[in-house]
Amino acid sequence: MHRFMLTGMSGGEFWLTGDELRHLAVVRLGPGDTVIGFDGEGSYRGVITEVGAERAVCRIEAALPGTGEAAARIYLVMGLAKGEKIEWVIQKGTELGMSGFIPLVTARSIVRPDESRRAAREARRRKIAAEAAKQCGRIRPPAIWPVAAWAELPALLPPDTAYILAWEEEKERSFRAELAQTDWGRPLALLIGPEGGFTPAEAGFAARELKAAPVSLGERVLRSETAALAVLALALGAAGDLG
Amino acid sequence: MHRFMLTGMSGGEFWLTGDELRHLAVVRLGPGDTVIGFDGEGSYRGVITEVGAERAVCRIEAALPGTGEAAARIYLVMGLAKGEKIEWVIQKGTELGMSGFIPLVTARSIVRPDESRRAAREARRRKIAAEAAKQCGRIRPPAIWPVAAWAELPALLPPDTAYILAWEEEKERSFRAELAQTDWGRPLALLIGPEGGFTPAEAGFAARELKAAPVSLGERVLRSETAALAVLALALGAAGDLG
């Protein structure tokens, strides 16, 4: 059944506008058809009663259980990489169940984003997250932050956040061992480096200031987007949020 | 240090030809520079002694430990999807450490590959796997099969292969629980459906003929390429092959 972000709800009805109204037309649904409307609080099964030029109205039949949200709060902090990699990770990280995404300026990022296109880029990333949330069954998209610097992380993430930093220089501690010791009641931030990896100085900062545990992802060299999705899948899996 | 697929080895030397020779030129390496050469058996540190029009010769300094290969033998069997999705999964599945990839004809695949381009498509997929293996540190790429039908799977995979089928219709058994009971001494094949999912008939065939265990990947609807990478990361992680 098709899901739509509802615009408003009142008196046993919800309504769809804008892009959601256009989407309704594209999938050729109209009066009498059943749809699911959701907002950041929940989702509702409804029957379309009218479709106008500005909005479609649906009579609510039932509130639906479940939120599609992971129980664990897992944030992905990813060193700046090419735009399409970031977008790909935002889309698939949303499906997997991440709570938020922070693109991080790192020493070895080769990308220097064009400042003049910043607003458009941030808007596109949020739209990708919103569409992925809609399609995968979540009632709200993950938070998508603007590009941040290391020093900002403590202010952006909850104060009790635990940090894990994936680092190819780490030879002893495995990610799996670290996950086995994770307290899923605390938010968890996973730090993934750019293609060139984190520098020793960055890993040192993370260890001192963020109490980040450096971990190895094994022998093979992973592209940053592969590492990002792997750590999300492994963490959400360990938390019980991927079946 | 740059890695190259070596063409041949003898008398304390190995040599590079063809695309590998061209790659050497692109990264501007020449006599006196150290490189790593690998074949399906191992890898070797060597110093370039000469670069000619047809080949570059390297004097072997040391055989290197490790193969970059996962200890667990994990195969990904994926319902046909758009070509670029298959190619992403081949690339990233190679980095994660899969042993082989089989594209599977399924009832709900909307893709009908163009037969006239089949050889080119298969060659491109094998090249993607070979390049990903080279870049991520493996000494051999995963096996990349041509498109297969359900009935062929037992002939393509080892006879003691255990099968797990990820299915959105499965509500009880979790992938995580199934992994906890997996015998890593046996090859494991992970079955991922096309965008429309496996049909009940397909899941039934897999259960009867392949002894496939149907499992859930949780509440959220995953794109087929997201599911593919998630199950590979979770399985290789559980096997200890991702740190």
Residues in chain A with CB shorter than 8 Å from the CB of B174 are 240, 243
pLDDT, residue B1, reads: 87
Q: In terms of CA atoms, which chain B residue is nearest residue A235?
A: B234
CA distance, residue B72 to nearest chain A CA (Å): 13
pLDDT, residue A5, reads: 95
Q: In terms of CA atoms, which chain A residue is nearest residue B135?
A: A221
pTM recorded for the entire structure: 0.93
What's the rounded Cα separation, in Å, for the pair A199 and B210? 47
**Contact between chains at B219 and A135 (C-beta distance less than 8 A):** no
What's the rounded Cα separation, in Å, for the pair B222 and B220? 6
SS (H, E, C) B214-243: EEECCCCCCCHHHHHHHHHHHHHHHCCCCC
What's the rounded Cα separation, in Å, for the pair B96 and B94? 5
Residues in chain B with CB shorter than 8 Å from the CB of A233 are 229-230, 233-234, 237
For B105-204, strand residue ranges (E) read 143-144, 162-166, 188-192
pLDDT, residue A167, reads: 96
Q: In terms of CA atoms, which chain B residue is nearest residue A95?
A: B222
**Contact between chains at B175 and A242 (C-beta distance less than 8 A):** yes
Residues in chain A with CB shorter than 8 Å from the CB of B223 are 92, 95
Domains in chain B with CATH codes: 3-64 (2.40.240.20), 74-238 (3.40.1280.10)
Q: Is B66 exposed, middle or buried (0-12, 13-18, 19+ CB in 10 A)?
A: exposed
Strand partners, A188: A74, A162
What's the rounded Cα separation, in Å, for the pair A235 and A223? 18
Query: How far, in whole angstroms, is CA A4 from its chain's centroid?
Result: 18
CA distance, residue A166 to nearest chain B CA (Å): 10
> Is-contact A242 B227, C-beta < 8 A?
no
**Contact between chains at A216 and B243 (C-beta distance less than 8 A):** yes
Helical (H) or strand (E) element with A110:
none
Q: What is the mean pLDDT of each run of 10 residues along chain B (243 residues)?
A: 95 96 95 95 96 97 93 97 93 98 95 88 96 95 96 96 96 94 96 95 97 96 97 97 93
Of A98, A164, A224, A226, which to mutate for an interface test with B (greatest number of B Cβ within 10 Å)?
A226
**Contact between chains at A218 and B243 (C-beta distance less than 8 A):** yes
What's the rounded Cα separation, in Å, for the pair A17 and A43? 17
Residues in chain A with CB shorter than 8 Å from the CB of B220 are 68, 95-97, 136-138
**Contact between chains at B229 and A174 (C-beta distance less than 8 A):** no
- Could you identify the residue written with the tokens 């480096």? A193
**Contact between chains at B230 and A237 (C-beta distance less than 8 A):** yes
pLDDT, residue A1, reads: 87
Strand partners, B164: B190, B213
pLDDT, residue A111, reads: 84
CA distance, residue A65 to nearest chain B CA (Å): 12
Using CA atoms, how far residue B53 sits from A160, B25, B56, B239, in Å, is 60, 11, 8, 45
**Contact between chains at B220 and A68 (C-beta distance less than 8 A):** yes
> Is-contact B4 B27, C-beta < 8 A?
no
Q: In terms of CA atoms, which chain A residue is nearest residue B98?
A: A220
Full pLDDT tens readout for chain A, 243 residues: 899 999 999 999 999 999 999 999 999 999 999 999 999 899 999 999 999 999 999 999 999 998 999 999 999 999 999 889 999 999 999 999 999 999 999 999 988 888 889 999 999 999 999 999 999 999 999 999 999 999 999 999 999 999 999 999 999 999 999 999 999 999 999 999 999 999 999 999 999 999 999 999 999 999 999 999 999 999 999 999 998
- Could you identify the residue written with the tokens 């030397």? B13
Q: In terms of CA atoms, which chain A residue is nearest residue B214?
A: A243
